[in-house]
Amino acid sequence: MAIVSATDQTFAAETSTGVTLVDFWAPWCGPCRMIAPVLEEIDQEMGDKVKIVKVNVDENQETAGKFGVMSIPTLLVFKNGEAVDKTVGYQPKEALVSLLNKHL
């Protein structure tokens, strides 16, 4: 499954079913750029079980504010529309896979 970009308007629909990893990011954020290829790898390996959604915090401040995103990258795990886990800052692939596996 391809990585999806969500907006304030589409966020609820994108995270409503299954396990979704949401990446709150911005183009000017160095660690966000570092984590992007890690998310691509996870998508290729786990895309049948996990959906990955990216939210640009500069363009979608309402959603970022709703979930208390203060620093980026912030990654939230949603299960059927509910936020169930959170990690902040760059994370290696193994840590993210472990985080996701807890909710599958």
Catalytic sites, residue numbers: 29, 32
Give the strand pairing for 50-56 and 74-79: unpaired
- Domains of the chain, by residue range, sit at 3-102
Structure confidence by residue, pLDDT tens digits, 53-75:
999 999 999 999 999 999 999 99
Indicate yes or no: pTM above 0.95.
yes
The CATH code that applies to domain 3-102 is 3.40.30.10
Structure confidence by residue, pLDDT tens digits, 77-102:
999 999 999 999 999 999 999 999 99
Listed in sequence order, the residues at least 6 apart from 24 whose beta carbon sits closer than 8 Å to its beta carbon are: 55, 57, 64, 67, 69, 72, 73, 74, 75, 76
